[in-house]
Amino acid sequence: MGDSEQKVDSSRRTAIGVTCAIGAVGGVAAAVPFVSTFAPSERARAAGAPVEVEIGEIQPGELKRVEWRGKPVWILRRTTEMLASLKKTDDAVADPKSVRDPNNTPEYARNEYRSIKPEYLVVVGICTHLGCSPSDRLTPGAQPSLPDDWQGGFLCPCHGSTFDLAGRVFKNKPAPDNLPVPPYKYVSDTRLIIGSDDKA
């Protein structure tokens, strides 16, 4: 996939920029304790606390949204085809191995899938440019604001940054880095803890 194919028409970029919602977490499923019922110190602790997430019900190809520390976190269960698409985008993304910023991708996710288990991608859904929340464009193929050879991924509506199905930013985009991978770990085959990766 060439760089030029990834460019977004500038007039379209202006139009879609209007819809930008900085730091948007709208539509995020509640996965945090109901902090409003806690005392202030408990509330502060709960707001920063790790979040346990059930992932067993996520269907192949489906994205689940949760909230951690006020941020949207996406869990995408990738199909075999989605995983295969990452080979095709490898040359078109800016930092295929996620080595630019070690703080952006934990060591255990610094691999070709950017995840502990290839099937499940876990990323913070906030663009590394100016903090808009990208929208998922998981379906491959030509569509508005995206190149004709689109393999599926995410589009930031603010300034047109695009990310593949591992959250890797494409070359020559405003976003300087891949979508962050939060600390996380598996507590069972179907449950994740987001916000903690220390050994149990």
Q: Which residues of this protein are in contact with ligand FES, per CB under 6 A?
A: 127, 129-130, 132, 156, 158-159, 161, 174-175
Min. distance of Cβ 127 from ligand FES in angstroms? 3
Min. distance of Cβ 14 from ligand FES in angstroms? 12
The answer to whether residue 129 is catalytic is: no
Of 71, 159, 173, 185, the active-site residue reads: 159
Give the three-state DSSP class for 85.
helix
Q: Decide: 181 and 109 in contact? Cβ < 8 Å.
A: yes
Report the 10 Å Cβ neighbour count for 125.
25
Taking alpha carbons only, the member of 134, 69, 82 closest to residue 113 is 82
DSSP structure class, residue 6: G
Min. distance of Cβ 175 from ligand FES in angstroms? 5
Which residue is listed with tokens 């050994």? 199
Min. distance of Cβ 96 from ligand FES in angstroms? 19
Taking alpha carbons only, the member of 183, 144, 136, 189 closest to residue 164 is 136
Residues known to be catalytic: 159
